[in-house]
Structure 1
């Protein structure tokens, strides 16, 4: 995808921010390239932003480390450069180490991840491979996610970021200016275009 033009033109940042303010896109999101494109459909941008905001920081119940591992695994498995690149610093900021985050590339051989982390990665892989969380993965996740809210959010997070991955790739969303792809080492996912 690198070097490919977006399929829908980006609005100027100030215009996207103004639209975002009208439809409830948080200011932290409104200037991002993805929302500069999504703001071409303000209602959609508002709905997507509301869901992202809830799953990221407004009323969420799922442990943020588990959420970021889900996002990074989806970004890696689907080859979604924008998703991986945008969430790399988020993963580090919320307390994942570089080693833990990179472990999503090959979780079967990861020695730094615990049972809860491996369970949500397995659930994510189930959805990517089969369209649903399998029974074994569900039971493994249930051992670590005590509430129904956490379990619901687990599935919602996997579905949300898988959908977002598809959208990012389908629309050819470019990285923000000056941002290097596939941090920290520039190694792209085998699934990347």
Structure 2
């Protein structure tokens, strides 16, 4: 992962977050619904994405559905997001989701294992299949029959759809974050990357 980021050679953001003094009435309205960090700070992902207000307005409900109202247990959702962040070299995504993963019950040992892959000892069978699904979706844009069937033993149709959509959505976010160079917000780190 670090080789990918180093190869990009970006010294800083290609697009800066939109400064508050440039927020018009619509921007203020859109950002009012964004999750805020302590101190009421709006995270860089949102203040950068809002430079395209129409896209931002459509993105937030979709992303929120997957993150806050999805059917997957929080712990499993965060494992999928972290593996996607690892696979795509998305430092921002990783840095923001490690604390969310911990809050959802993901252990530091599991976070370390995310960086090593599905065949690393210590995973449950379900966790192994989910990490493998994230890897296959990243590489092949699909899941193998074996992975699909293994997950289908644990999940119904809606959850299987959500797994693919979750990985795809965080893959898309990684493209945006990496291409624009969104910087990680204060108080978050990427030490494991």
Could you tell me the TM-score, scaled by structure 1's length?
Answer: 0.84
CA distance 1:27–1:65, change in 2 (3 Å): closer
| Alpha-carbon distance change, 66 to 130 in structure 1, aligned in 2, over 3 angstroms | same
Alignment of 1:51-130 (within 5 A): 51-58=62-69, 60-130=70-140
1:56-112 deviation digits (Å, cap 9, x = unpaired): 113x11121111111100111211111111100000001111111221111345333
Tell me the SS of whatever aligns to 1:28. Answer: coil
Q: TM-score, normalised by structure 2?
A: 0.84
Matched, 1:7 2:14: yes
Moved more, 12-21 or 94-103: 12-21
Gaps of 5+ in 1: 189-193
Equivalent position of 1:171 in the other structure: 180
- Give the unaligned 5+ runs of structure 2: none
Partners of 1:109 and 1:65 in 2: CA distance: 19
Q: Deviations over 1:36-64 (max 9, x none)?
A: 11111111112121111100113x11121
State how far apart, in whole Å, the 1-side matches of 2:160 and 2:25 are. Answer: 34
Q: Structure 1, residues 123-151: CA drift from partner, whole Å, max 9, x if none?
A: 11111111111111111111111x21111
CA contact (8 A) 1:75 1:165 kept: yes
> Greater shift after overlay, 8-17 or 64-73?
8-17
Equivalences, count:
182
C-alpha contact 2:34 2:42 (8 A) present in aligned 1: no
Counterpart of 1:148 in structure 2 is 157
**Cα distance change, pair 32–101 in 1 and its aligned pair in 2 (3 A):** same
**Distance verdict in 2 for CA 1:156–1:51, change over 3 Å:** same
Distance 1:168 1:17, change over 3 A: farther
What's the secondary structure of 1:107's corresponding residue?
coil
